[in-house]
Amino acid sequence: MEPRWANVTASDRNGRKVDETTRLAPAVAGACTFLAGVWLILSPFVLDHEYTGRGFDGYWNDVLVGIALIAIGSAPLVEPRAASWWCSVPPVLGLWLLIAPFVLEYNDGMPAPRTTTSDIAVGVFLLLIWFVIPTSQASRSRGR
């Protein structure tokens, strides 16, 4: 016998039944994006990656991308339905974080390996969050 709360359902705008995990998926992805942005803003101070690269260095890249991720991650937390068009931006920023150490050439110097590793890890994390969560939710709804 299954518990009562196991199949909690709600209705979307069109009156279709959706389960709780489908409804919460944008909020979970938004929260993870928000936390990734917080890490990127803090990472220049925690990892001490000042002066990594020429011109536009890893410090400013992480701070600016972190600010963008905090703003994007907050949108689904505030109003999930209105923030659906933001869903395409985090994977793009994730791809940018994967290639930024090489494009901006901040892979030289003492703090560069930590900066590069942090950016690549956050980039992979963003890609996983924004591609795995919606894909698994879509496959669940198709299977019903």
Question: Are residues 93 and 66 in contact, defined by beta-carbon separation less than 8 angstroms?
Answer: no
Q: Give me the numbers of helices (H) and strands (E) for the chain, helices first please.
A: 4, 2
CA distance 64 to 68: 6
Q: What is the mean pLDDT of each run of 10 residues along the chain (144 residues)?
A: 46 56 74 94 82 68 93 79 73 93 74 82 93 56 46
What is each CA distance from 27 to 13, 24, 64, 120, 130, in whole angstroms? 17, 5, 22, 23, 11
Write the DSSP string, 76-96.
HHH-TTTTGGGGGHHHHHHHH
How far is residue 61 from each of residues 66, 96, 102, measured CA to CA in Å? 8, 10, 12
Say what the pLDDT of residue 121 is.
Answer: 95
Q: Residue 18: helix, strand or coil by DSSP?
A: strand
Phi/psi of residue 108, nearest 5 degrees: -120, 155
